[in-house]
């Protein structure tokens, strides 16, 4: 049976003039592997704005009806891959999005739960990432910026019935990143792409187990 997998990344944002998840999403949508037989992979790059997430995510889920949504975001201070397990009901009012927008509140949903779980085979994705040699860990804190906001909106969609699997992966800076990072990136873009491919393959196996 054919599957549809939507792979997303983000564009640049204040403090990150190059975001490796932008080329990463596109690379993972075109890589070849036998595990991707009968798998339609689509890439989408979100502009780092709340408006873009609220506009693009529902439209993509409605038009493409993905079986799995695999989202990637940049954690500028991370030293390892982070497999997120939940979205926090939290927003930062200290950092505007690329459109200059600041949230009016420190929460996404007033009166809502403190967090929403992501419908993801987190342990399986963790093992997949580590199998490529990159350090990786599970995370319960996706931050308070656009990555966490996308996590929350995706978790809401999954609670409504689809996609079957909703994953968010934070990646550290890669060596294609511009050289004025405070610390040189530890990993190459190719290493991140190999880990990303392993994660996508693991998600495909997990989705098939649901069918």
* pLDDT given for residue 141 in this prediction: 97
Q: Is 79 exposed, middle or buried (0-12, 13-18, 19+ CB in 10 A)?
A: middle
Residue 65 DSSP SS3: coil
Question: Which fold does the domain 3-210 belong to in CATH?
Answer: Aminopeptidase (3.40.630)
DSSP string, 89-155: S---SSS--TT----SSS-SSTT--SEEE--S-HHHHHHHHHTTT--EEEES---SSHHHHHHHHHH
Residue ranges of domains in the chain? 3-210
Indicate whether this model's pTM tops 0.75: yes
Q: Which residues of the chain have pLDDT under 50?
A: 177-181
Q: Token digits for 188?
A: 């190459």
């Amino acid at each position: 049976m054919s599957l549809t997998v939507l792979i997303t990344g983000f564009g640049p944002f204040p403090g990150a003039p190059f975001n490796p998840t932008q080329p990463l999403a596109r690379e993972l949508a075109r890589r070849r592997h036998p595990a991707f037989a009968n798998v339609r992979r689509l890439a989408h790059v979100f502009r780092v704005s709340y408006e873009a997430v609220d506009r693009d995510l529902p439209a993509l889920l409605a038009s493409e009806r993905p079986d799995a949504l695999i989202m990637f975001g940049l954690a500028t201070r991370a030293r390892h891959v982070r497999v997120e397990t939940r979205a926090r009901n939290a927003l930062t009012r200290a950092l505007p999005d690329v459109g200059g927008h600041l949230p009016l509140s420190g929460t996404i949903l007033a009166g809502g739960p403190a967090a929403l779980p992501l419908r993801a085979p987190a342990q399986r994705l963790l093992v997949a990432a580590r199998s490529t040699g990159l350090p990786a860990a599970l995370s319960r804190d996706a931050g308070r910026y656009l990555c966490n906001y996308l996590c929350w909106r995706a978790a809401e969609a999954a609670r409504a019935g689809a996609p079957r699997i909703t994953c968010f992966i934070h990646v550290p800076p890669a060596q294609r990143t511009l050289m004025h990072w405070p610390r040189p990136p530890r990993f190459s873009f190719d290493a991140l792409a190999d880990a990303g491919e392993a994660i996508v393959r693991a998600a495909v196996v997990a989705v098939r187990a649901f069918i």
